[in-house]
Amino acid sequence: SLHESQFSLLYQSVSKSATSGEIHFIRMTMTHFLFSYPVMVLLTVMVTLGLLKLKCWLRCVYLVSRLPGPPVTSLVGNTTILTTTTETIKTFLSLSKLYGPLVRLWVCLVPFVVVNNPSDIKAIMANANQTHKNFLYTLLDKFFGHGILTSSGAKWKHDRKLIEPFFHRMTLNSFITTFAESSELVVDGLQDKSEVKITDLINICVRGILHHTMMGIPLSDHETKLRSPFVTGHPFIISRFQRPLYLIENLYRFSSLSNNETQQQTSFKEFAREILDKRRRSENNLEWCLLDHLIRVANTTGEFTDEDIVDQICTFMLSGQDTIAGAVTFTLYNLAKHPETQQKVVEELETVFNKHSFISLRSLNEMVYLQQCINESLRLFPSIPLISKKLVEDVQLENCTLPAGLNILILPIAVHRLEEYHPDPENFNPDRFSRGNVKALHPYSFIPFSAGPRNCIGYKLAYMEIKTIIATILRHYVISVPSDHELELSYKVVLRAKRMVMTFKPRL
């Protein structure tokens, strides 16, 4: 055979009995084997992986094709849902009412399933293996960085384990003074003003707290905070959905939009590196911050590089702004709309501060009714109205099996308004979260900070900060909403109010 003759000539060459022509033939044959065999193996692997992905995609398509859902627009599918910030929220709220517990959506050629039933959500979110984010979070990489929010699998587990000790309650206790001082600045900013666009003041307050607790920048260091790009940063994902072709990375990277996003990312990272370098050089870091914790991890374990630290700082700086500011603003709005509830909170605060002269961990824990009001506001207006995942293994639900590889959407803003779990869902009723009632609440029917292994790592800090800001404001002012004010919601990764105006009257 040909192979036998080739190896026979190879043997002759080795024994120095081959002619020059035979040696040339052997060289050509060896070159053929060296290069064609790996190429064939590579091609085989690529084809196999391609077929497996195709099989996975077809399984997802088969399931999605049998589910109800909104009309599809040609190749862009249902991407128009995310193109208008106001209509997006209305669509989120209508999907379960119109189509039931499992809803089909298409993002171009990518099938999605919206899961609305809390028991089904538990089957997905409580599973320790289902920690993967899907391509929607990849679109946010340039905004948040490759930190704990957008990472998946082993990297996410590794990073979370290293970061989690920072968010222990006793560590967070040291930040309460910062929360209180920044809240007092809001009170000062409200002096001699009656009608205020409260969102701006709350955003300034939260940004000051973030710069201090995450990066160690003092509240008094206005110059550094004014230079901070985190003050004006914004995600580009909605703009990409408005131009569906920009969802294709190889097209998007050549656009001016991508160039602007890259410049923004560069400014985030350069500022974070600058503060990192200063923090490392300083010998008088008396107040602990997340950056110090990450530096310690890097120094003691070698687990974090400087690039890792910068990514994590960018993630926490950007993910903690609008989420907490939104929770504060919507809670104030609900208390302003319901004066009798506001009065109950004030009475509770009077009782708490008769026992404690200042805000502390103990006094915050005693603000039980205020906590109920915050939870009820988060039920109606969750800061993150959309959570997205990609299944890494099949998930068995009561009526069907969700295949591995399927993209999942969970809409807290819709789940929180399911009448079978939250009677009279549009009504603001903090007693839903009283100690007696909360025990009967399905744990996955209220998920403002996500749930399961990938719940928000900073939720304790968030509650402490929200409570401090609201308690400080209510001790000084009676708040109300102008009679002609209409709340209009919008979606830009987080839930926002387009215009939030309130009236503040000094409390006697």
Decide: pTM greater than 0.85.
yes
Reported as a single tens digit per residue, the pLDDT across 439-456 is 999 999 999 999 999 999
pLDDT of residue 26: 58
Count, in order, helices (H) and strands (E) of the chain.
Answer: 23, 11
Reported as a single tens digit per residue, the pLDDT across 240-296 is 888 888 988 889 999 999 999 999 999 999 999 999 999 988 866 668 899 999 999
Task: With CA atoms as reference, report the closest residue to 12 among 31, 20, 28.
Answer: 20
Do 322 and 500 form a contact (C-beta atoms < 8 A)?
Answer: no
- Secondary structure letter of residue 427 according to DSSP: S
CATH architecture for segment(s) 67-506: Orthogonal Bundle (1.10)
Question: What are the mean pLDDT values of the chain's consecutive 10-residue runs (508 residues total)?
Answer: 49 54 60 58 67 81 92 84 78 92 92 95 88 81 88 89 92 93 94 87 95 94 93 89 87 93 95 94 79 94 92 94 95 97 97 92 96 98 94 90 93 96 96 93 95 93 97 96 88 87 91
pLDDT of residue 245: 87
Domain layout of the chain by residue ranges: 1-47, 67-506
Q: Which residues contribute to the annotated binding site for heme? A: 456
pLDDT of residue 2: 45
Q: Which residues contribute to the annotated binding site? A: 456
Residue type, 484: D
- Taking the CA atoms of residue 431, residue 432, residue 437 and residue 438 in that order, the dihedral angle to the nearest 10 degrees is -120
pLDDT of residue 17: 53
Strand partners, 502: 196
